[in-house]
Structure 1
Amino acid sequence: MSISVDTFFLNPQFQGTLQSQIQQMIAEGILSGRFRQGEKLPSTRKLASHLGVSRITVTLAYTELLANDYLSSRGRSGYFVSENAPEPPPFEALRQNGDSVDWNRAIGRRYTGGDTPRKPVDWARYRYPFIYGQTDSSLFDHANWRLCAIQALGQKDFAALTTDYCDLEDERLVEFIVRHTLPRRGIVARPEEVLITVGAQNALWLTAQVLLTQRRTAAIEDPCYHALRDILTQSRCHLVPLPVDRDGLPPHAIPSETDVIFTTPSHQCPTAATMPMSRREQLLDRARELDALIVEDDYEFEMSFLNPPSPALKSLDRDGRVIYVGSFSKSIFPGLRLGYLVGAESFIREARALRASVLRHPPGHTMRTAAYFLSLGHYDASIRRLRIALKERREAMQNAIQANGLTIAGQGAHGGSSFWMRAPNGVDTEVLAEQLKPKGVLIEPGRPFFFGHDRPKEFYRLAYSSIPKDRISQGIQLIAETMSD
């Protein structure tokens, strides 16, 4: 790779000769790591012309660097950064100027320090990854996704690939969601009532920004999706956590001052509780009584392999007060980052305007590829394979849990991809997680899902979407043995 001549410029305030300035400029580039070993420098003629100096000045600077082993010469090919050039020092050593800004005062709002844990990037190297929300490559239809991506790159879809949608989205993807995805959840919607988002988390953020202010109150489940709690905390609204029971969120516990209710009725996160129909009706009645809105996160409804999924809360809504959040990130692959919002046209209009001001729209090629993958039937075929695999893994995990005397605290009535577990009293699952890592086992401690300071430490989540069936039994045994040590 060649180093661009535009990288070099002379400093009028430099004290010294032009030759020494050029020499120092190149040496600093190597020491800072900007110029890498083996990269080619501009020719002496080209650099001299660019800097407005004589060629002999550049040649002498190169010769001095050659003698000091910063550069090497390869016959008629020119000058290169030497393979023996000094290694760049640690980054902190390169700072020439101090940071005089008081960032504690300068930062107006903080977004760090939330509850959302960082999942191990190298989770796949662990032999027993009971980790939620990652893709098992053996279950992903890579071949057909690749074909759809190539099709989306074709001349026919050139506009979809290159157009700045501004505040719009891919009409083919929206059409599929309206005509095929939503009806399966009992939801009827027009294209104007659908907004494509960068995953469910982006959908929840947009919703919180549009609906909540510092004077409004949001009710959330406890425990709940930790990223949602971080989003609502950042919005500065009044936050009311409501402990869930075996049927999910209890409507009678929702306080009278509530403006927005966030819930996961079909598959409570993380306990996997399924809200029965009677309670769904009670929740809608309570929201109507308070004139409150409901935000329904309908994640994992596709993973219903034991029984058909319950109708979405949105399908029972007769007042238009339920805002529905869906996602393809869990059912296709997490890195896809495609989700959608369904709600009243006036709400979607504001959410669309906010999305446009932040990221304009999701990438056109991604939306069109997903539209092909869905409309050509690859998505449904992939979901069928996924359900079969998850059902087998769930059975293997349930048997292993029972055989090793572990305790299930919650499991999906219709399926899902994880178990909500409870360790014996006195066991800190965050400590347990660290003890298991050297043994090749990954689990998710439950503490981040809970609200407040005095959070339970004995809960944890075991997912079976990312671990092969034949490794489940041994992994569960390692968890039980470590827990009893």
Structure 2
Amino acid sequence: MALPVETFFLHSDAQGTLQAQIQQMVAQGILSGRFQRGEKLPSTRKLAIHLGVSRITVTIAYTELLANDYLTSRGRSGYFVSENAPVPPAFDPGPRGPDGVDWTRAIGQRFSGGDTPRKPPDWARYRFPFIYGQADPTLFDHANWRLSALQALGQRDFTSLTTDYYDQDDPQLVEFIARHTLPRRGINARPEQILITLGAQNALWLTAQVLLTQRRSAVLEDPSYHALRDILRQSRCHVTPVRVDRDGLPPTAIPPGTDVIFTTPSHQCPTTATMTMARRHALLDRARAMDALIVEDDYEFEMSFLKPPSPALKSLDADGRVIYVGSFSKSLFPGLRLGYLVGSEPFIREARALRASVLRHPPGHIQRTAAYFLSLGHYDAQIRRMGRAFHDRRRVMEQAIADTGLRIAGQGAYGGSSFWMRAPDHVDTDRLAERLRAKSVLIEPGRAFFDGEDRPKNYYRIAYSSIPSARIAEGVALIAEAVRSAV
């Protein structure tokens, strides 16, 4: 690989002759690790023109580096970093000194330090990854996704690949969502009422930014999706957590004066509870009485493999007060970062403008690839394949839990991909998770899902979306053993 000549420059305050400066510049590049062994340096002519010096000056500098074994010459091919060049240090030298900025004063608003935990990036190397929300490579249709991506790269789709849509989206993807995806949830929407987002989390952030201010109040479920809680805290609105029960969010517990209600009625996160039809109507009535808006996160509706899912809350809405959030992350793969918002045109117009000011639009090639994958039937085939696999894994896990005496706190009646578990009151599942890691078992501690200072410490989530059926029983037995021995 040839090093671009643009990476070479002389400092205006450098000391010594031009020849020494060039020699030092190349040597520092090698010692810092920026220039790797075997990489080709610019020719003496190109570097001389780029630096505005004579060619003989560069030639002499290269000759000195050649003599010191920093460089090697290969006939007429030019100069290369020598295989015998000094090895760069195995540490990042970082900046030369501390910043001259007092960042405790300079930062006006903090976004770090929230509740959202970090999942192990190397989760796939664990033998028992009961981890939620990661893609199982054995269930993903690599071949047809690759073909869809290649089709989207073709000359016919050059415009969708290269165009700056500004605040618009791929019309093929929007049309598929409007004509195929939403009707399955009982929702009718025009393209003007749909906005493509970078996943459900981006959709929730856009929604919070558009609807909430420091003077407005929001209700969220407790426990709930920890990233949503972080988003609402960052918006500086008044946040009221409402404890869920076996049917999800109880409308009667929503305080007067609430402006926006965030809920996950199909599969409550993380308890997996499904809101009954009677409660859905009661929630709509409660919101109407308070003139509040409802944000419905329908993040896992495709995973209703036990029986058909209940109609979306949005499909029951006659006032336009429900904003619907959908995602392809759980059904395809989380790295896709593709979701969508559905709402009344005035809301979508503002969300579209905000999105355009932050990131314009999700990449056109990703949108068109997804549009082909969906419209050619590959998506439906994958959902059926995942449903069969999840159904089998759920059955195996349910039996293993019963055999080991673990306690289920919540299990979706329609399907889903996880169980919400409760350990004895004295068990701290953060510590439990650490001990299980040493045995190649991953679970999700439940503390981060709850709000407040005195959060329950004995809940945890185990998912079956990323672990084969054959390993589930052994992994659950290890969890049960760790729970029994916890003190």
TM superposition score category, shorter chain reference = over 0.9
Match of 2:272 in 1: 272
* Aligned counterparts, 1:225-236, within 5 A: 225-236=225-236
Instruction: Indicate the residue corresponding to 1:286 in structure 2.
Output: 286
Does residue 404 in structure 1 map to residue 404 in structure 2? yes
Q: Deviations over 1:319-378 (max 9, x none)?
A: 110000001111111111111111111100000000111111111111111111111111
Whichever residue aligns with residue 337 of structure 1, its letter is R
Letter in 2 for 1:346: P
Structure 1 window deviating more from structure 2 (20-29 vs 55-64): it is: 55-64
TM-score for the superposition, normalised by structure 2:
0.97
Q: CA deviation at 1:143?
A: 1.0
Alignment partners' CA distance in 2, 1:355 and 1:116 = 23
| 76-85 or 297-306, larger mean C-alpha shift | 76-85
For 1:396 and 1:92, how far apart are their aligned partners in 2?
A: 47
Contact 1:32 1:94 in 2 (8 A): no
1:6 aligns with 2:33: no
SS in structure 1 at match of 2:456: coil
Distance 1:53 1:348 in 2: 57
Is 1:295 the equivalent of 2:295? yes
* 1:459 aligns to 2:459 (yes or no): yes
Report the secondary structure of 1:75's partner residue: coil
Q: Which amino acid aligns with 1:311?
A: P
Structure 2 counterpart of 1:56: 56
User: Superposed, which structure 2 residues align to 1:243-254 within 5 Å?
Assistant: 243-254=243-254
Tell me how many residue pairs correspond in the alignment.
485
1:422 paired to 2:413 = no
Q: Is the 8 A contact 1:324 1:343 kept in 2?
A: yes
2:376 corresponding residue in structure 1: 376
Q: How far apart in 1 are the matches of 2:393 and 2:378?
A: 22
Deviates more, 1:367-376 or 1:404-413: 367-376
Query: What is the deviation of 1:88?
Result: 2.7
Deviates more, 1:43-52 or 1:400-409: 43-52
Alignment correspondent of 1:126? 126
Which residue of 1 is the match for residue 24 of structure 2?
A: 24
Report the TM-score when normalising by structure 1. 0.98
Local SS of the residue matching 2:420: strand
Tell me the alpha carbon deviations over residues 391-413 of structure 1, each in whole angstroms, 9 at most, x when there is no partner. Answer: 00000000000000100000001
The residue matched to 2:421 in structure 1 has which SS?
A: strand
Q: Which amino acid aligns with 2:418?
A: S
Moved more, 326-335 or 393-402: 326-335
What's the CA shift for 1:245? 0.6
Tell me the equivalent position of 2:141: 141
**CA displacement 1:134-193 (0-9 Å, x = unmatched):** 111111111111111111112222211111111111111111111111111111111111
What SS is found at the alignment partner of 2:295? strand
Distance 1:162 1:149 in 2: 14
| Structure 1 unaligned residues grouped into runs of 5+ | none
User: Residue in 1 aligned with 2:385?
Assistant: 385
The within-5 A match list for 1:435-474 is: 435-474=435-474
Distance 1:312 1:25 in 2: 63
Residue pairs, 1:155-170, within 5 angstroms: 155-170=155-170
In structure 2, stretches of 5+ residues that fail to align are: none
Amino acid at match of 1:8: F
In the alignment, which residue of structure 1 is the partner of 2:206? 206
| CA distance, structure 2, for counterparts of residue 92 and residue 154 of structure 1 | 42
Secondary structure of residue in 2 paired with 1:77: coil
- Between the aligned partners of 2:13 and 2:105, the Cα distance in structure 1 is 33
Instruction: Report deviation, 1:50.
Output: 3.0
Which residue of 2 is the match for residue 176 of structure 1?
176
Equivalent residue for 1:96? 96
Give the structure 2 partner of residue 413 of structure 1: 413
Deviations 1:244-296 (A, max 9, x none): 01111011110102100000011100000011111111111110111000000
User: Partners of 2:273 and 2:395 in 1: how far apart?
Assistant: 18
1:104-158 Cα distance to aligned partner (Å, 9 max, x none): 1111111100111111111111111000001111111111111111111122222
Code of the residue aligned with 1:229 in structure 2: it is R
Amino acid at match of 1:87: V
**Paired AA for residue 444 in structure 1:** E
In structure 2, distance between residues paired with 1:418 and 1:49:
63
Instruction: Summarize the Cα distance change of 1:413–1:12 in structure 2 as closer, same or farther, 3 Å threshold.
Output: closer
User: 1:220, 1:240 within 8 Å by CA — same for their partners in 2?
Assistant: yes
Structure 1 CA distance, aligned partners of 2:310 and 2:356? 34
Quote the Cα distance in structure 2 between the aligned partners of 1:336 and 1:11.
42
CA contact under 8 A between 1:404 and 1:480: conserved in structure 2?
A: yes
Indicate how the Cα distance of structure 1 residues 60 and 339 shifts in structure 2: closer, same or farther if over 3 A, else same: same
Q: Write the deviation string for residues 82-117 of structure 1: whole angstroms up to 9, x where unpaired.
A: 222223336653523541011111111111001111
Determine if the alignment matches structure 1 residue 191 to structure 2 residue 191.
yes
Q: 1:319 and 1:401, CA in 2 relative to 1: closer, same or farther beyond 3 A?
A: same
Residue 351 of structure 1 corresponds to which residue in structure 2?
351
Say which SS state the counterpart of residue 470 (structure 2) adopts: helix
Aligned equivalent of 1:321:
321
C-alpha distance in 2, partners of 1:174/1:53?
56
User: Which of 20-29 and 289-298 deviates more?
Assistant: 20-29
Would the alpha carbon gap of residues 230 and 79 (structure 1) be closer, same or farther in structure 2, given more than 3 Å must change?
Answer: same
| Equivalence for 2:477 | 477
The whole-number CA distance in structure 1 between the counterparts of 2:203 and 2:320 is: 18
For 1:188 and 1:45, how far apart are their aligned partners in 2? 66
Mapped to 2, the partners of 1:167 and 1:285 lie a distance apart of: 34
Give, in whole Å, the separation in 2 of the partners of 1:335 and 1:314. 27
Q: 1:465 is paired with a residue of what secondary structure? A: coil
Give the Cα–Cα distance (whole angstroms) in 2 for the partners of residues 366 and 94 of structure 1. 36
SS at match of 2:93: helix
Partner of 2:106: 106
SS in structure 1 of the partner of residue 309 of structure 2: coil
What is the alpha-carbon distance in structure 1 between the residues aligned to residue 138 and residue 384 of structure 2? 14
Provide the identity percentage. Answer: 76
Structure 2 equivalent of residue 85 of structure 1:
85
